[in-house]
Amino acid sequence: MGVWKTDQLAPVHVSTPTSGMSDLAAREPTTVLGVFKGVVSHLPHGRALSIKKDGEWVTHTWQQYNEISQQFARALIHVGVEPHEVVNVLGPNCPEWLFTNMGSIMAGAVIAGVYVTSTPEACQYISAHCDAKVVVVSDKAQLDKYLSVVDQLPKLKALVVWSEADVPQETNCSVPIYSFSDFLRLGENVEARLLDERMAAQLPGHCCTLIYTSGTTGPPKAVMISHDNLTWTVAAAMNTLPALGDAKRTVSFLPLSHVAAQILDIHLPLAIGSEVYFAGPDALRGGLLGTLQEVRPNFFFGVPRVWEKMMESLKEKLGGAPEGLKKSLLTWAMVQGAENAEQSQYGVTPRLSLSFWAADYLLLGKVRSALGLDECTTFLTGAAPIAPDVIRYFSTLNIPLYELFGQSECTGPHSTNTPDKWKIGSVGPEMEGTKTRIDSDTGEIQYTGRHIFMGYLKDEAATKAALDDDGWLYSGDVGEIDKDGFLSITGRIKEIIITSGGENVPPILIENALKAELPVLANVVVIGEQRKFLTFLCSLRVEPDVVTGAPTDKLDKTALAVAKEIGSKATTVPEAQECEKFRKHIEDGMARANAKAASRAQQLQKFFIIPREFSLDGNELTPTMKVKRAVVETKYNQEIEDIMPNRF
């Protein structure tokens, strides 16, 4: 499997090994449409998609899902979208997102989601980069982003708005704007034959989806995911976690532009015929619990921050219970849960415990019921590292939380803990049909399999840097594999920050933007790994010692000019640290940088002015003057904890 030429969206050969790997690795390739046709044929009147409107759940069957998607596909053909061209979608999780997704695939197009938190500039970059022909948005707020940049998108043919009320009556827009229902009607006169030909022409090796992911030193890269990547990865996930195949209900709340939501909320339900319930837009602001209590999902995936918030809430409620018999019983029950979890770890011979079953029946089950997770058989977390203590806490409630590992470039998962192969603190063994190796020099985790992406769109250099000629992906993560085959992540070669909410944040871009706004800053280090929000450490520009060249605490001319401009009398770093005018100046610069950030996840909230500029002698800089992030974070750990007291 060679590196695919990434300057065009064309098919790539799907390699299915006949020897040396499992039957799963040699599974017959298929397209997303092949899987979709199967579920529509098998469950035409089954419940597929449900969303709450005006307090009531409104449901689409699989047949309705199919019909609306086909209408959307015919409309794309009508406006001139050709095979392998791109459709962007920007909106919250809802049936229309999935109709847009499947309709685009039916028309032979490639779907690329855009995060709802994206700025107009980020929207313009993505749509221009992938030469999007149609952009579908949810409402006026998202439409306005594109109206402000539409003149910079010369290849755009149409804008579509889900909400009919948000279509402007008059506009100077250079492309037509349709409501979703009006757009569907455009395809009424398109011959069924044309759509049938589009669907029949698709191959498992065609690109199906683009996942835009952040880079460290440049704009986002488009990860090209094929039909086979998606269908094979779902099959591998079901093989690894068989309980997923029995799931009847799931809750969709993570952004559908993220690869995890693509797999779990779109493509897994196609394979098993499960019903997807869409949580409201307030899901991550407290509304998720109510949806879980109503839906009672059969599996649940949450990024670490979701589980952390749930743990914080439970600790507050359970810990705040009045002293007495009930609280004593709950404490006893949680001890039984913890002991059961220890006995469930891989390599430990489990012992049946009547005490545990009694604890679960009398108390722990009631806690799960209060969370809406009493009918859940599979609990998953990923997209960012999670503290083992969080997993241990939920294990006391008989909620075995299985951590998995992967990335967009491997279509989501590569390894995962399972009920029979579980070690807290690891990310489990590799999925069947994949291979993993650790680079002996760097410790980098590298892996291969049919889940590995096609390449980065229009970026051959980045593709070759990420994939070798034999199809091994260089993950950028450092890790170890123990004697039982369990993978553990010990660090990151790449400098992308992953917040506790699973957001990928490129620190260099933010740091450069901040320094551009604040010339008074000499160095900036963004902090946010496994944190709720971003903050930064900064050093001020100072005069060097005339003999040693080491930084002094005296502000240099640039910094003094800034001090004069803002009315500060500070002439040294300690004085600037104590000066409210200096702090206000940095806060204002931070606000300006935040206004230009690509998303809310990339916005900064707090900062700390360090007392000494980075230097070679201080060991904060390499010989080529690059910042040693780990050294800086260790040296100023207490200051970081003071402004970010809670990691989770």
pLDDT one-digit tens code per residue, 425-440: 999 999 999 999 999 9
What is residue 176's predicted lDDT score, i.e. its pLDDT?
Answer: 97
- Taking each continuous run of H as one helix and of E as one strand, the counts in the chain are 23, 27
Instruction: Mark which of 221, 255, 273 sits at the end of a domain.
Output: 273
Q: In the prediction, which pLDDT does 371 show? A: 97
Whole-number pLDDT of residue 618: 84
249 and 129 assigned to the same domain: yes
- Looking at residue 86, its pLDDT comes to 98
> Are 339 and 375 in the same domain?
yes
86-102 average pLDDT score: 98
pLDDT-based confidence at 4, cuts 50/70/90? very low
Going by C-beta distance under 8 Å and a sequence separation of 6 or more, which residues neighbour residue 116? 90, 91, 92, 138, 142, 255
291-339 pLDDT, tens per residue?
999 999 999 999 888 898 898 889 878 876 677 777 889 999 999 999 9
Q: Quick one: which H or E segment has residue 329?
A: helix 325-344
Segment 639-644 shows an average pLDDT of 88
Q: Answer whether residue 293 is part of any domain.
A: no
CB neighbour list of residue 316: distance below 8 Å, 6 or more residues apart: none
pLDDT tens readout for residues 183-234:
999 999 999 999 999 999 999 999 999 999 864 345 789 999 999 999 999 9
pLDDT digits (tens, 9 = 90+) for 347-389: 776 676 889 999 999 999 999 999 999 999 999 999 888 888 8
Where residue 615 falls among pLDDT bands split at 50, 70, 90? confident
Single-letter residue type at 613:
E
Non-local CB neighbours of 611 within 8 Å, separated by 6+ positions: 553, 573, 574, 577
167 in the same domain as 106: yes
Backbone angles phi, psi at 349, to 5 degrees: -75, 115
Nearest to residue 140, comparing CAs of 164, 175, 111, 157?
164
Residue 94 reports pLDDT greater than 60: yes
Q: Are 17 and 26 in contact (CB under 8 A)?
A: yes
Query: Which pLDDT value is given to residue 5?
Result: 38
* Same structural domain, 492 and 571: no
Tell me: do 518 and 440 sit in the same domain.
no
Pairing between β-strand 221-226 and β-strand 207-213 as defined by DSSP bridges: antiparallel
Q: Is 85 exposed, middle or buried (0-12, 13-18, 19+ CB in 10 A)?
A: buried
Report d(CA 299, CA 294) in Å as an integer.
14
CATH number of the domain encompassing residue 580: 3.30.300.30
Are residue 527 and residue 382 in the same domain, yes or no? no
14 is a domain residue: no
Same domain for 488 and 583? no
Nearest of 194, 191, 204 to residue 33 by alpha carbon: 204
On whether residue 501 sits in a domain, the answer given is no
Q: Average pLDDT, stretch 118-124? A: 92
**pLDDT of amino acid 6:** 36
Q: How many domains does the chain have?
A: 3
Output the domain CATH number for residue 126. 3.40.50.980
Q: Tell me, yes or no, whether 443 and 406 share the same domain.
A: yes
Instruction: Give the residue-averaged pLDDT of 239-266.
Output: 96
Binned at pLDDT 50, 70 and 90, residue 502 comes out as confident
pLDDT value, residue 92: 96
Percent of the chain at pLDDT above 70? 93
CATH of the domain at 306: 3.40.50.12780
Alpha-carbon distances, residue 571 vs 420, 436, 576, 587, 607 (angstroms): 63, 55, 7, 19, 20
β-bridge mates for residue 489, sequence order = 479
pLDDT of the residue at 135? 99
Average pLDDT, the chain: 91
3-state helix, strand, coil in the chain (%, to 5): 40, 20, 40
Domain boundary among 458, 473, 496: 496
Do 474 and 330 belong to one domain?
yes
pLDDT score recorded for residue 140 = 96
Mean pLDDT along residues 523-532: 91
In a domain, 32, yes or no: no
Lowest mean pLDDT among 71-80, 285-294, 421-430: 285-294
pLDDT at residue 16 in the model = 60
36-40, 85-89, 355-359: the lowest-pLDDT one = 355-359
Instruction: Tell me what pLDDT residue 15 has.
Output: 61
For residue 617, pLDDT over 90 is answered with no
φ and ψ at 210, to 5 degrees?
A: -110, 130
| Last-in-domain residue among 496, 514, 539 | 496
Query: Is 625 a residue whose pLDDT tops 60?
Result: no
H helices of 79-160, where? 95-106, 120-129, 140-147
278 found inside a domain: no
Question: With 80 as the cut, is the pLDDT of residue 561 above it?
Answer: yes
In this structure, are 164 and 266 located in the same domain? yes
Q: Is the pLDDT of residue 265 over 50?
A: yes
Domain that includes residue 632, residue range: 506-643
In this predicted structure, what is the pLDDT of residue 636?
A: 95
Residue type, 222: A
pLDDT greater at residue 21 or residue 4? 21
Residue 108 shares a structural domain with residue 224: yes
Q: DSSP for 262-276, please give it.
A: IIIIIIHHHHHTPEE
**Does residue 229 lie in a domain region?**
yes
Residue 1 binned pLDDT confidence (cut-offs 50, 70, 90): very low
| pLDDT recorded at residue 493 | 76
If one counts every other C-beta atom within 10 angstroms of the C-beta of residue 637, the result is 10
Please write the tens of the pLDDT for every residue from 162-186.
Answer: 998 899 988 889 999 999 999 999 9
Instruction: State what percent of residues in the chain have pLDDT above 90.
Output: 72
Say if 380 falls within a structural domain. Answer: yes
Q: What is the DSSP string of 130-150?
A: TT-SEEEESSHHHHHHHHTTG
Whether 245 is covered by a domain: the verdict is: yes
pLDDT attached to residue 498: 84
pLDDT for 622 equals 55
Residues 540 and 489 in one domain: no
Which pLDDT tens digit goes with each residue over 387-426? 888 999 999 999 999 999 999 999 999 999 999 999 999 9
Partnered with residue 456 across adjacent β-strands are 223
